[in-house]
Copies of this chain bind each other. A is one copy, B any other.
Amino acid sequence: MGNRPTIRDVAKLADVSIASVSRALTRPESVKEKTRDRVIEAARSIGFQLNRQAIDFRRGRSDALIVLVSDIANPFYPEFFKGIEKEARERGFTVLIGDTAGGPQSESTYVGMLASGKADGLISNIGRLPQGIPSPVEIEDSYQGPPIVACNHDAGAKIPMVRIDNYSAGKAAAEHLLQLGHRRFAQIHGSLEFSDFRARLTGFSDTVASAGFPIPANLLVPGGLRVQSGRDAAEKLLSQTDMPTAIFAHNDEMALGAIHQLSLSGLRVPADVSVMGFDDLSYASATMPTITTMRLPREAWGAAACKKLIDQILGTDSGVHDQMLPAELIVRESTAPHS
């Protein structure tokens, strides 16, 4: 009854073979005009549409991509996804959300989709290879499994990467603060399970250390990337005897939280202490004070990763296997010369 019409119904109605229907609908130029018109008219009249599942099944492709992220609730992601979705849509691909906040088993779920054909490739932004993928690092030659592009993995893995140059970004942040005359630094850093935060941390630490101002261990405080962790971290710093004059937070959320907490405690930002963020989220330009930060090309990043992945899938991959995108220093009001 309510069954969808199939190619056979159209063929019958247009009085041609099913092959001609297929041709008329997928490669119109390969068919005589009159046939084509008949087919198209017949298809329209019964509301026929090619069955993508059947097509994909036969092609052995799904034209779908999985994007693995560690926590999609992070306000960092919308623009990253936008870049991916746009590139994907333009090239006829579809984007599946893979949030691994549900634990390692959700990783396997998504990797399983790759292996089982639900998706053709995967963009990983979870800092390492997901559970279930045989580690390509251990492979001598090149990676053989399903197409993967890594966005924030360690160098060395033999899979294509499109990354942010976090080490340089950390360095740039440090240089900015050094230039302002700061000498006592702290970092509120993201989880060091992720290589991007490790690089950010090291880039900053290395730079201030080689300027002669290493950061004592008690001024490196980990945070959970949320506003509240920024507050908590600031609290912790406040209780130290050697309060820093400049704080580098690994994202804007924590920077904002820190600024908030410092203000509540009677310290003025930037007069008493400078605070830097990372990401350049929308609000960083509108808070009071506005937040000095490292801007990430989030949308371009997503688009580049997506492009690389699709190129992999299509076998048209062009060039650089480890692409590095720069972060840009945006100087605003939350940092000031150390008086």
Using CB atoms and an 8 Å cutoff, list the residues of chain A in contact with chain B.
49-54, 56-57, 60, 62, 64, 71-75, 77-79, 81-82, 85-86, 89, 94-97, 99, 101-102, 106, 109, 112-113, 115-118, 226-227, 230-231, 253, 256-257, 259-260, 263, 281-283, 285-288, 299
Report yes or no: A51 in contact with B86, Cβ–Cβ below 8 A: no
Report yes or no: A113 in contact with B94, Cβ–Cβ below 8 A: yes
Report yes or no: B118 in contact with A106, Cβ–Cβ below 8 A: no
Instruction: List, sorted by A's number, 20 A–B pairs whose CB atoms are closer than 8 Å.
Output: A49-B112, A49-B115, A50-B116, A53-B56, A53-B57, A53-B118, A56-B57, A56-B118, A73-B78, A73-B299, A75-B282, A77-B78, A78-B78, A82-B99, A89-B106, A96-B96, A227-B282, A227-B286, A260-B288, A288-B288
Report yes or no: B95 in contact with A97, Cβ–Cβ below 8 A: yes
Task: Quickly give the copy total for this chain.
Answer: 2
Report yes or no: B72 in contact with A99, Cβ–Cβ below 8 A: no
Q: What B residues does A94 contact at CB under 8 A?
A: 96, 113, 118
Interface of A is mostly: helix
Q: Shortest CB–CB separation between residue A137 and chain B, in angstroms?
A: 20
Q: What B residues does A95 contact at CB under 8 A?
A: 96-97
Q: What B residues does A72 contact at CB under 8 A?
A: 78, 81-82, 85
CB closest chain-B residue, reference A285: B227
Report yes or no: B86 in contact with A99, Cβ–Cβ below 8 A: yes
CA distance A54 to B79 in the complex (A): 34
CB closest chain-B residue, reference A283: B283
Q: What B residues does A260 contact at CB under 8 A?
A: 285-288
Candidate in A81, A113, A116, A286 with the most chain B CB atoms within 10 angstroms = A286
Q: Shortest CB–CB separation between residue A75 and chain B, in angstroms?
A: 5
Report yes or no: A117 in contact with B82, Cβ–Cβ below 8 A: no
CA distance A81 to B97 in the complex (A): 9
Report yes or no: A75 in contact with B75, Cβ–Cβ below 8 A: yes
Q: What B residues does A253 contact at CB under 8 A?
A: 282-283
